[in-house]
A = this chain, B = another copy of it.
Amino acid sequence: MNDVIARYALTDRAENLSARAEGIAVGLTVGSWTDLPRATQERVEPFRGRIEEIRTVEAIDGHRVRAEIAIRYPMINLTDQIAALLTTVFGKLSMDGEIRLVDLTLPSAYLAQFQGAKFGVRGLRDRLSVYDRPLVMSIFKTCVGQTLDELGMHFREQALGGVDLIKDDEIFFHEAVPPYVRVKRYREEGLRIEQETGRRPRYAVNLTGPVFELKERAKRLQEAGADLFLFNVFTYGLDVMRELTSDRDIQIPFMAHPAFAGALYASERHGIAAHVLLGDLLRMAGADIAIFPSPFGSVKLHRKESAELIARLRAPGPFAKVMPAPSAGIHPGMVPLLMETYGKDVIVNAGGGIHGHPAGATAGGKAFYQAIEAVLRGVPLSEAAASHEELSDALAKWGEVRG
C-alpha cells in the first residue's frame, strides 16, 4: 500500500493508547470519521489513516506506560514537499505531550517523487578520483576578520597536507570577503597546489543569503568555480535544500551541515530521532555528504543512534548513498576507530585536529593520511608513528582512541 508509516514513542495512560492512536490516524488525515455521513465516509476512506501497531514498551507507574504507536498515512494526503510530510506526521502531534517521532517508512511510490543525492558516494569519488580510502576534510578555523590574502594562505597551508576537501565554517556569514571572491581565490590556490602535488584540494563554500536568492547564488558560485556547497539545511529548511539539489542547473555536491539539528533530535522523549532527521530526511533533501557528530569526539551522538544513522545513509533503495562525515573533536588517533566503524566510505573531518597539530595545519593533514595509510596496511598507529613524524606528534598530543 502507498502509505507513509510513522512510528512514535510516547507516554500515556495504558487505557488511552488505542483511542490516542485512533485519534492520530483519523485526526491527522480526515479530521473526523464516526460523525461523517455514510456517503462522505466512502469518499473520504482513501485518505483515512490507520493504526499499524500499538506496542507497550514499559510501565512507568500504576497508570502511565511508555509505548510505541505506528500509524499509516495514505500518501494521497501529501504533496511531494518534505514540509507536507512533517506537517502531517509530526505537526500538531509534536506539541501533544511526551512524544517523539522515532521512525519513518516511506513507500517507493512516495520516494519516487524525490531525486536523492545527485552525486552521493560514487559521484563524489568520481569527482575526486579517489576510490580506495576515506577522504580527509579540513575546516577553516578563523574565517572572520581576515584579508583575502590571509584566507588564501590558510587555504594553502591546510591544503598542502594533502586534504581532499576544505570547508568553510558553518557560522561564516560575514561577507567582507564575499563567497564568489573566496571561491575564485581558493580555486587559484588549488590549481597551484595541483601543479605542485598532482592533486587539487576541493573547497566547500557556505551557501548563504536570502532564501529566494539561493538558486541564483548557487549558480553564480558554480560559475565562479565552486567545488561543493556547505548548507545549513536545518536553519534554512529541508525543502529549500531539496529544491536546490534537484535543480538541473546546479551540478555541485551538497554537504549538509547539522547545525540546529540538536534542537530537534537531542531530547530522548521529544522531537525526532537523529537517524530519521540526519538520515532519511537528508537523503530526501538530496544531501551528498551528511555531517553529524561522531560518537567518539567532543560533541557526541549516541553510538546506537550513529549506527542507525549510517545504516539509513547507506540503505539500498532508489537513492545514491550519502557520504557520512562524522565530526567534532576528530584527530589522527581516532582514524582506526573511525575506519573500523564506518569503513572506507567516510569523510574524516577535522578542524582542531588539523589546525591544532604541534607543527601546524600542513603537518595536521599529513598526520591524518599517515594514520589512514597505516590502517589500510594493517599497521598499528604506534608502529607507523615510528617512521612518520607528523603522526608521531599527533599521537603525542591526542593519543589513540580505542572503541
Contact = CB atoms under 8 A, between A and B. Distances in A.
A8 B141 CA distance: 24
Interface string A263-299: 1101101111000000000000000000001000001
Chain A contact patch, size range:
35 or more
Copies of this chain in the oligomer: 2
Given A94-B262, A270-B266, A47 B215 contact: no
Contacts of A91: 170-171, 232, 235, 257, 259-260
Nearest to A292: B95
Nearest to A98: B266
Interface stretch (A59-67, A82-90, A121-129): A82-90
A87 B259 contact: yes
Helix, strand, loop or mixed for chain A's interface? Answer: loop
A169 interface: yes
Contacts of A77: 144, 171, 173-174
Interface in A181-232: 208-212, 215, 232
Interface stretch (A30-38, A318-326, A336-344): A30-38
A212 B209 contact: no
A158 interface: no
A307 interface: no
A375 to B, nearest CB: 27
Contact of A271 (B88, B140, B146, B271): B271
A22 interface: no
A262 B101 CA distance: 11
A148 interface: no
Contacts of A175: 79
B28 A81 contact: no
A97 B302 CA distance: 11
Interface stretch (A236-244, A308-316, A376-384, A390-398): A236-244
Contacts of A43: 145-146
Contacts of A81: 173, 208-211
A40 interface: yes
Given A270-B262, A271-B270, A79 B208 contact: yes
Nearest to A78: B173
A87 B40 CA distance: 47
Contact of A95 (B46, B96, B266, B272): B266
Contacts of A140: 31
A326 to B, nearest CB: 12
A83 B269 contact: no
A31 B141 contact: yes
A362 to B, nearest CB: 16
B260 A270 contact: no
A212 B84 contact: no
Given A87-B170, A270-B271, 6 more contacts: A47-B144, A79-B175, A83-B236, A94-B259, A263-B270, A266-B270
8 contacts: A44-B146, A81-B210, A92-B259, A95-B261, A210-B243, A211-B240, A237-B237, A262-B270
The 8 closest A-B pairs by CB, nearest first: A237-B237, A91-B259, A94-B262, A95-B262, A267-B267, A83-B235, A44-B145, A267-B270
